[in-house]
Structure 1
């Protein structure tokens, strides 16, 4: 999920003919005198093991990290830790299913696995789910711009409060940023140098984590009310301010707990990038790529846990659904927080066009599969996507809702459901019968995804309908 990096997406052309090739046992010794069969792993990957870990970590890392402290505040430390371990293990298992499926048929793209498993409808389904997820990711990035850019401008003007001018209105600012920065970059024919923003994005999040840990020891609880603006203090803060406000909860459940698993799922989605990274890995084998995935997930697990823990222990019940926005309550002119905001803003702004490219590619393949490149289509799709995302960000009241909806729909599809049903359909019966333990496990995994999706959406819709108090950045 994430500051998603589309490593390898632009290099799929020329490999479409490989989708019918089986990987077989590519790590077994080759028998002399027998002509070697071509496998998709015969594409000579040149990316080292360490760089592959870095690339997959970039694909996992995303804006979801900003919502984890809010999730912990609504579950308690122990329950959050249990859920985080649960989602991390399931993510690693789903990558195992993807790699096993890809190894059987020699395919390096998520959508093509869908095509192999269910034909054109499967390809369409996978493409649509990835598109929805990436639109959600773009929305979360622009929501950060809407929430944080006014605070940055306010800090440069030396103001402690938002005085209501148009240039301090987040809705106007995202339209300006979209028109002047994102749209021109999205109109480029190739991603080019934008691919390098992945490293910068990860560096920004490491800087963010260090700052969160440092600020834990510099902010006292309860927060100093002199910096509070009535529009900044959520009902959630007021409700909890007199109820053991500065005491860490080990286990708690409330109306906002329903958003926790979707936020965590959103934070671990990297599955569309797994196969391109696998193909580019030097000396690629399933075991080696699974190790890359396990190390990347473990690294992000540690980073997520530290961010959530120190963010929660700084603000407790006052933490907002976008953690960085919460620091404006303490001192809007804080230099360290201003630097973090600037770094995150630049990173997410440059990442939006990177995420837009694979959406446009998927739409072109679905709507205009045989058409050659045309600038009008190239521009039209980019403009429509950015327009839709701007509408979402303007009218959705909280980034929590974006994390919740995307985390409850496309995230479980990409993590639980699609890898499982692809595995069941693609791995041949003679290799693993339908009633074999691996396929029964995969079927249970898919069922778990459906249960998770239905329960999460039910709780979220119930929260909306009953009008529960809303806590979130972007007020």
Structure 2
């Protein structure tokens, strides 16, 4: 069978670069003359529809960082924020283009195997480790939101003004229940495409969040008396709080680019989604990516603008906390908090799939699909993440290091150097414009990494607490 022959190629980590040039030109154009489609490096024919793939990738892009974008805008001003957001959006789409082009040249649709083709086994291990570390950090951040927010939501719906110690108000118990009842069953699905339905519901929850932010803009007066009376770090006059800034530069402005870059990290999920896309070709998958990125650009922009124009100088680094301070028992915002909790919970299984694939590539590269292995790896990953969330009281600095190193690597550095190494010189010479652009793109990732690490070190040295939300 063709599929058996293809899996044989996967054991050799792709095709010879020169031999792959012709199949690439055929397979990744919209249609082949004979109407047939070849499948490379996949256990099954892609069955996921275009729409479900958009939902999955959009859900992978959208993280908890959306809650910090209004704060980021308050530290840049509206115009500068829009410029930076547009800049990062274009770079993210270009990054996925490099990734898909590299994957197409050698007929490989696994991030780790691209690393193997570019740099041999060390490249494969490095790519798998970066994906694993980054996504475990992302999963942990989502469950930390569940741990901190879900008890407060339950407490508010019960009309309690304080936590009275019941087991159902204990965040540690709640994340275990959520993991067992919701996350684990979804993570056990064989194909990522099946999560398109939960991803669609997750995105619906975030649209509800955005709609509520827009609605609240016209129902919350400025200034906030509570902020004026209790904030000890500001001595500015009232007008400063209720005046939108177009351009602003302050001590936290430099954090905005890393925050926005991290908010678009979805690259570990791109190739698994590509593998499962029905009638897959590079042009079709690029269209999935472009629509997903554009949708998130619109959601991010609207959330930031209306969140900022609601609270101006009083906006906090976590937008929901600002609403809660205005009215802790506001039913609408309680529903919004619950919707955000549902959204981040349903994102965890989508993030888990690339980690499991990375583990499989390292430990069992030549093994066919097996349910026992599939289930055990998912259970172990969720178990480890739960332990992190329960027993580590504050891993903000660990997440900072992970985000500052893995996010630029996944968005900029790896796609850029994979493109330079994998695309044959016969097709594009080393000094051709596309390869020079890819090399500069990877260099930009190193600049982001150094910049982000520098901010974290400055935080540690000065002892200041700065946060703006991460992916």
* TM > 0.5 fold call: yes
RMSD: 3.4
Q: Deviations over 1:234-271 (max 9, x none)?
A: xxx54236351222222222222232112111111111
Distance 1:403 1:13, change over 3 A: farther
Q: Deviations over 1:259-308 (max 9, x none)?
A: 21121111111112222333333443323322332222112111100001
- Aligned pairs for 1:168-317 within 5 A: 172-173=170-171, 175-183=172-180, 190-191=188-189, 196-225=197-226, 237-240=231-234, 242-243=236-237, 244-317=240-313
Unaligned residue ranges in structure 1 (runs of 5+): 1-11
2:100 maps to what in 1?
A: 99
- Aligned pairs for 1:45-124 within 5 A: 45-124=46-125
Are the counterparts in 1 of residues 133 and 406 from structure 2 also a CA contact under 8 Å?
yes
Q: Deviations over 1:103-157 (max 9, x none)?
A: 1000111111111111221111111111122122112212322342233133223
Distance 1:247 1:169, change over 3 A: farther
Cα distance between partner residues in 2 of 1:326 and 1:28: 48
Unaligned residue ranges in structure 2 (runs of 5+): 1-5
- Aligned pairs for 1:341-360 within 5 A: 341-360=337-356
Q: 1:462 aligned to 2:428?
A: no
Cα distance between partner residues in 1 of 2:404 and 2:465: 20
Distance 1:199 1:299, change over 3 A: same
Cα distance between partner residues in 2 of 1:336 and 1:169: 22
SS at match of 1:278: helix
Are the counterparts in 1 of residues 68 and 468 from structure 2 also a CA contact under 8 Å?
no
Shift of 1:420: 0.6
Shift of 1:336: 0.8
Comparing 192-201 with 211-220, which one deviates more in the overlay?
192-201
2:138 maps to what in 1?
A: 137
SS at match of 1:25: helix
TM-score (norm 2): 0.83
The alignment covers a number of residue pairs equal to 445
Cα distance between partner residues in 2 of 1:402 and 1:326: 26
Distance 1:366 1:186, change over 3 A: farther
SS at match of 2:241: coil
Distance 1:145 1:269, change over 3 A: same
Equivalent of 2:440 in 444, 447, 458: 444
TM-score (norm 1): 0.83
Comparing 89-98 with 295-304, which one deviates more in the overlay?
295-304
Distance 1:407 1:83, change over 3 A: farther
Shift of 1:417: 0.3
Cα distance between partner residues in 1 of 2:272 and 2:433: 29
Are the counterparts in 2 of residues 140 and 402 from structure 1 also a CA contact under 8 Å?
no
Distance 1:376 1:130, change over 3 A: closer
Q: 1:333 aligned to 2:332?
A: no
Comparing 196-205 with 290-299, which one deviates more in the overlay?
290-299
Are the counterparts in 2 of residues 150 and 167 from structure 1 also a CA contact under 8 Å?
no
Cα distance between partner residues in 1 of 2:376 and 2:284: 43
Distance 1:74 1:37, change over 3 A: closer
Shift of 1:361: 4.4
